[in-house]
Amino acid sequence: MIISVRDLRREFVVRRPTGRLRRTRTVVRAVDGLDFDVDAGTAIGYIGANGAGKSTTIKMLTGILKPTAGSVQTCGLVPMRDRKVLARRIGVVFGQRSQLWWDLPLAQSFRTLAAIHRLPETGWPARRDELVERLDLGDFIHTPVRQLSLGQRIRGEIAAALLHSPELLILDEPTIGLDVLSKERLRVFLAEQRAEHGTTLLLTTHDMDDVQRLCERIIVVDRGRLAYDGTLPGLAARVGAERVITLDLTEPAPPLRDVPGTRLVDVEPDGLRQRLSFSPHETTAAAVLARVGQLVGVRDLAIDEPDIEDVVRRLYLGAPSVGSSDGGVHAEQ
Amino acid sequence: MVDRLRPYRELIGSRIRSQTAYRRSFALDVSGSVMVGLVEFAEVYIIFANVDALGGLDFAGVALVFALAHLTFSVADLIIGHLDNLPTYLRMGTLDAFLLRPLPVLAQLVTSDVSLRRFGRIAVAMIILAIALPMNDIDWTPARVALLIIAATAGTAIFAALFLAAAAVQFWLVEGREFVNAFTYGGNYAASFPASVFAVPMRAFFTFVVPAAFVAYLPTLVLLDLPGPVGLPQWLGWCSPVAAVALWCAALAGWRAGLRHYSGAGS
């Protein structure tokens, strides 16, 4: 058991000025009674909407924040009390906050980190070379971090967090802002690290693909509480993680009500744009397209994956449903 | 022992390398800090163009006070002065990064920056000290030599503790840099002049609350064998280590409370 969380709570006091001198004091429960365990070697997706309490949980797992109540153990240690011992056994990457020295090149940062973790001079260069090769850092290892692109910097951050070969790697939104190719390379790398070194992964993300590709277990938090704990297919079965295919037709057509395995979501008045939802377990996008193609010409199409916010919302509503006319990935924007 | 210090040697080394990488801006920084030291001394010089004595000291005596205060302040500033970056670190999440490394937070903060430009001010203070010491009529005994060394060390420790206390307060104030600068830079200003020029309440404040008088003025009284003003007997000049230790205890307690507040109240 690498993480053990029991009835974990964390409150914040928010003071807001009301009037010239008065301030109201509100207690916000960021984490409100979480219970879960993580076995060593697992890859776990920790997901939830913004403000659901993900970062707060991570800060309590790593010893940055003290729980208001309940207990947390990471690598068998109490994070706040054993912060320095724990720091040698875990690696943490915050996608939106750099832990590197912005004015130093990665090569220098690695040297400094090796010294900080007191890694033996005989061992760490080999580990660094492995990370440089796998994460493809060679081209910019001597460039100051502030001149790197986002994708390059994140790869550097991950290498920095893994240099001391931690048992547990915690990633907070590691793929945020990355292009599709960078995301994919990162996922492949993380899966490799896990396979080769048995590293436990805990990642928070907004990207359903991250979860799908990397995690065998998902924990969904909503307003600080556990909303779901299980596998991704289990979650999909519960909330009906359906994809929505938007078809732009070459000519107006009657509503496409009888395509097997799909449900018609909406039709624009002229019949030129129609949206169908389908479950990936029942049919495929290709099959849907083939069937529609027999009825009418398709000029263009787009497929929207259900996003985390959507899944969480549906989980909360407790009923499988499909987005309305404005459903899909961009529903929240 | 050597291996225990390896993280810090590496951290400081990396800071120095990053600064000297830009030679021209480094040279400008140093000359800027030399200018600041000279302008501040010019203030003392101008005062003495108009009066013969200040708070019972002549020009040579005041120059000695000024040099001691500036030397100790600028050494403390070099070692620990960048602690006033703490509000930025809190905002940027740098402190969280420190908490994720297996080293004490304070040690990481101290080694997070070495502003080599501050050597400019140290150099100015050393030169003024080298000129002021022979200008004064000091009866050099082994005790007085020891006192000068003790005063310089304790004075540096006093300013360092002031910086630390000021940083600790930032955990609660967040945007209080200007407020706490009043105590650090204000302490330096108060220490640069004989405490006898201040009215009694101010004198008491800068002796027993912010112990700036212990840095330079009181040791100078001992060096010159002068009686102190009302409330500040000469023997207090030997007590600067006591003031330094007391202030360090308070500052460290404040720092620990601040860190606890941070992890308790969060960002």
Distance CA B210, CA B213 (A): 8
According to the model, what pLDDT value does residue A324 have? 36
According to the model, what pLDDT value does residue B166 have? 92
Q: Does A15 touch chain B (CB under 8 A)?
A: no
Among A28-37, A259-268, B2-11, B86-95, the range of highest mean pLDDT? A28-37
Residues B79, B71 contacting (CB under 8 angstroms): no
Return the closest-CA partner of residue B220 out of B141, B144, B125.
Answer: B144
According to the model, what pLDDT value does residue B164 have? 95
Q: How confident is the model at residue A198 (pLDDT cuts 50, 70, 90)?
A: very high
According to the model, what pLDDT value does residue B16 have? 83
Largest Cα–Cα distance in chain B? 58
Q: B96: which chain A residues are within 8 Å (Cβ-Cβ)? A: 59, 64, 94, 97
B1/A184: higher pLDDT: A184
Among A6-15, A281-290, B161-170, the range of highest mean pLDDT? B161-170
Q: A117: which chain B residues are within 8 Å (Cβ-Cβ)? A: 101-102
Closest-CA distance, A149 to chain B, in angstroms, reads: 19
According to the model, what pLDDT value does residue B186 have? 86
According to the model, what pLDDT value does residue B2 have? 56
According to the model, what pLDDT value does residue B182 have? 82
Q: Among residues of chain B, what percentage have pLDDT more than 90? A: 45
Residue A219 has pLDDT above 90, yes or no: yes
| B96:A97 CB<8 A | yes
Residues A128, A140 contacting (CB under 8 angstroms): no
Residues B158, B243 contacting (CB under 8 angstroms): yes
Q: Which residues of B touch A (CB under 8 A)?
A: 3, 6-7, 9-11, 14, 17-18, 92-93, 96-97, 99-104, 263-266
| B99:A83 CB<8 A | yes
**Dihedral (CA of B112, B90, A110, A42) sign:** positive
Digit-coded pLDDT (tens) for A90-121: 999 987 788 888 888 999 999 999 999 999 98
Residue A82 has pLDDT above 90, yes or no: yes
What average pLDDT does the segment A2-15 reach?
Answer: 91
CA distances from B13 to A107, A111, A204, B27, B114 (A): 14, 11, 35, 19, 9
| B102:A101 CB<8 A | no
Q: Best of A94, A116, A168 to disrupt the B interface by mutation (most B CBs within 10 Å)?
A: A116
| A87:B102 CB<8 A | yes
What average pLDDT does the segment A262-290 reach?
Answer: 84
| B101:A108 CB<8 A | no
User: Predicted ipTM?
Assistant: 0.81
Q: Among residues of chain A, what percentage have pLDDT more than 70? A: 92
Residue B259 has pLDDT above 80, yes or no: yes
Q: A74: which chain B residues are within 8 Å (Cβ-Cβ)? A: none
Q: Best of A65, A72, A100, A168 to disrupt the B interface by mutation (most B CBs within 10 Å)?
A: A65
According to the model, what pLDDT value does residue B110 have? 92
Q: Which residues contact B146 (CB under 8 A, 6 or more apart)?
A: none
Residue B197 tokens, joined: 């020029």
Distance CA B63, CA A178 (A): 60
Residue A76 tokens, joined: 């068998």
B262/A14: higher pLDDT: B262
| A97:B93 CB<8 A | yes
Closest-CA distance, A185 to chain B, in angstroms, reads: 25
Report the residue from B6, B7, B100 with minimal CB separation from A99: B100
| A12:B10 CB<8 A | no
According to the model, what pLDDT value does residue B37 have? 83
Digit-coded pLDDT (tens) for A318-333: 544 443 333 333 333 2
Element counts in chain B: helices (H) and strands (E): 12, 0
Q: A62: which chain B residues are within 8 Å (Cβ-Cβ)? A: 99-100
Residue B22 has pLDDT above 80, yes or no: no
Specify the pTM: 0.82
Q: How confident is the model at residue B1 (pLDDT cuts 50, 70, 90)?
A: low
According to the model, what pLDDT value does residue B223 have? 92
Closest B-chain CA to A84: B102
**B178 exposure class (CB count in 10 Å sphere: 0-12, 13-18, 19+):** exposed
Q: Among residues of chain B, what percentage have pLDDT more than 70? A: 97
Digit-coded pLDDT (tens) for B196-245: 888 888 888 888 888 999 999 999 999 999 988 878 888 999 999 999 99
What average pLDDT does the segment A65-82 reach?
Answer: 94
Closest-CA distance, B94 to chain A, in angstroms, reads: 7
What average pLDDT does the segment A167-189 reach?
Answer: 90
Report the residue from B14, B18, B100 with minimal CB separation from A87: B100
What average pLDDT does the segment B14-40 reach?
Answer: 81
Distance CA A93, CA A83 (A): 16
- Edge-to-edge strands of the sheet including A43-47? A90-94, A168-172, A200-204, A43-47, A217-222, A225-230
| A116:B11 CB<8 A | yes
Residue B266 has pLDDT above 50, yes or no: no
Q: Supply the mean pLDDT for chain B.
A: 88
Residues A213, A175 contacting (CB under 8 angstroms): no
Q: Best of B16, B85, B101 to disrupt the A interface by mutation (most A CBs within 10 Å)?
A: B101
According to the model, what pLDDT value does residue A105 have? 92
Residues A256, A295 contacting (CB under 8 angstroms): yes
Chains A–B, number of C-beta pairs less than 8 Å apart: 72
Sketch the domain layout of chain B as residue ranges. Answer: 2-261
Report the residue from B96, B99, B102 with minimal CB separation from A116: B102
Q: Does A92 touch chain B (CB under 8 A)?
A: yes
| B102:A84 CB<8 A | yes
According to the model, what pLDDT value does residue A199 have? 95
Helix (H, G, I), strand (E, B) or coil at A25: strand
What average pLDDT does the segment A251-256 reach?
Answer: 85
Q: A84: which chain B residues are within 8 Å (Cβ-Cβ)? A: 102-104
Digit-coded pLDDT (tens) for B102-137: 999 999 999 988 878 888 889 999 999 999 999 998
Report the residue from A92, A101, A108 with minimal CB separation from B100: A92
| B7:A85 CB<8 A | no
Residue A292 has pLDDT above 60, yes or no: yes
According to the model, what pLDDT value does residue B117 have? 80
In sequence order, the β-bridge partners of residue A3 are A38, A74
According to the model, what pLDDT value does residue B65 have? 93
Closest-CA distance, B18 to chain A, in angstroms, reads: 7
Distance CA A118, CA A308 (A): 40
Residue A67 has pLDDT above 60, yes or no: yes
| A13:B92 CB<8 A | no
Q: Does A64 touch chain B (CB under 8 A)?
A: yes
What average pLDDT does the segment A57-61 reach?
Answer: 94
Half-sphere exposure of residue B205: CA atoms within 13 angstroms, side-chain side: 9
